[in-house]
Structure 1
Amino acid sequence: MTKPSIIGLTGSIGMGKSTVAAMFEEAGVPVFDADAEVRALQGPGGELIPAIEEAFPGSTGPEGVIRDALGKIVFGDKEKLKKLEAIVHPAVALKRGKFLEEHKDAALILFDIPLLFEGSGHAAVDTIVVVSAPAEVQRERVLARPGMSVEKFEHIVGLQMPDAEKRARADHVIDTSTTLEETRAQVEALILELKASL
C-alpha cells in the first residue's frame, strides 16, 4: 500500500490560499487546515484552553482564547511565544497524524500551512505549492478586509517570507490574479499532473 503524497500549500496574506485550498477539496483532495485546527483547539471548549490559561492567566474566557489578551502577553516576547508554541504545535501535530490515518487511502493529501517556509513544515511534505498574485493585487485584497490598515498589512507582510522567495522555493506556483475559473483550471491540471507522477 503506497502512502498518500503530501502537498504543502502556502502563500502570503491575501494571495488566495483559502480559495485554492477549497478548490483542491472540491476536486476530492482531503485538506488539513492547520489554522482551522488551531482555532478549534483554542475556541469555546477547546482542548488547549486549560493549558493556555494555566500558562498565561487571564488569556482565556467562556469563548476560548481572548486573542487580544494572549497577543499582548506573547507579542514581542520570544520566551512566552515559545511556551505557547510548545502547547499548540504538538496538539496540531496530533490532529494532523489522525487526519493522515483517516485518509491513508487517498492518492493526494493537502496540508494548508500559512507559514510553511517560516516554520519547519516544508520538511513534512512531498510537493510545495505556492499561491501567488502581483503585489498590487495582494495589497488591494488585504486592505479591503474589515479592520485592516496599511500599517497592519505592512507589519504582516514584513513578518512573512517575501513572495518572490516563496515562488523560487516552490515546486508549483498557482497564479490567483486570474479569474476563479482559470485558477480552478490550474488546480485541476496540477492534481492530474501530481497523480500521474505517483
Structure 2
Amino acid sequence: MSRPFILGLTGSIGMGKSTVAKMFDRQGVPVFDADAEVRRLQGPDGALLPAIEAAFPGTTSSQGVDRAKLGASVFADPAALARLEAIVHPAVRAARDRFLAEHADAALVVFDIPLLFEKGGADEVDAVAVVSAPAEVQSARVLARPGMTARRLAEIRRLQLPDAEKRVRADCLIDTGTSLAETEAAVAELAARLATQRR
C-alpha cells in the first residue's frame, strides 16, 4: 500500500522554518506542526496536564502549562528534561501518526520538527529539508524577539545541532537569507519535485 512522501522540515532558531512551513501549506502540502501540537497538549484542558503536574508540581493551572515555570524546572537539568520528554514525545508521535493516516492520499506531507536531528527523528522521514540563513541574519531575527537576550540565544544554540552540521546532513537546503519571493519559489519547486516520489 502506498503512502505520502514524508519530508522532515527542520532548522535552528531564527532560520525561518515557520515561514517555510506556511509556504508548503500554501502549496497545498499538509504540514504537521510538532510545536503547535505540544502547545495544544499543554494548553487549557490539554491531555498532558495531569502527567506534567504530577512530575513537576506547580507548573500547570487551568490555563495550561506555565511555560516559564516548567522551563525553569527542566532547562538546565538533563534528567528533568528527559522526564518531560518521556511524557510529551509519545503523545506527539501518536498525533503525528493520526495526521499521516488522515492524509494518506496526499502525494507529499511535511513533518515540521524543530529538533529533528537532535532527537533522532531523521530516520523516520524520507528526506530532510534544513532551513538556513547566514548567522548574522539568524541573530538579528532572534534578538528582535521580545525578551530575548544574547545569553539566552547562546544557550539555545548550545542545545541545538550547529547549523553547519545540519546543512551537511540535509537532503535539501532551503535558504531564507534571500528574499521571501525567492524562498517561496524554491519551496514550490521542491514541493512539486517531491510530490512525484510518493512511496
User: What TM-score comes out, normalization by structure 1 length?
Assistant: 0.97
Match of 2:2 in 1: 2
CA RMSD in angstroms comes to 1.0
Cα deviations by residue, 1:67-110 (Å, 9 ceiling, x for unpaired): 12112222322222221111101100110011011000000010
More displaced stretch, 54-63 vs 94-103? 54-63
Match of 1:183 in 2: 183
Q: How many residues align?
A: 198
CA distance in 2, matches of 1:71, 1:174: 30
What pairs with 1:136-155 in structure 2 (closer than 5 Å)?
136-155=136-155
SS of alignment partner, residue 6 of structure 1:
strand
Look up the equivalent residue of 1:134 and give its one-letter code: P
CA distance in 2, matches of 1:128, 1:104: 19
Structure 1's unaligned 5+ residue stretches are: none
What pairs with 1:1-198 in structure 2 (closer than 5 Å)?
1-198=1-198
CA distance in 2, matches of 1:95, 1:23: 22
User: What TM-score comes out, normalization by structure 2 length?
Assistant: 0.96
**Among the aligned pairs, what percent are the same residue?**
63
SS of alignment partner, residue 46 of structure 2:
coil
Cα deviations by residue, 1:116-156 (Å, 9 ceiling, x for unpaired): 11011101100100011111111111111111111111111
Residue pair 2:5, 2:197 contacting (<8 A) in 1 also: no
Shift of 1:186: 0.2
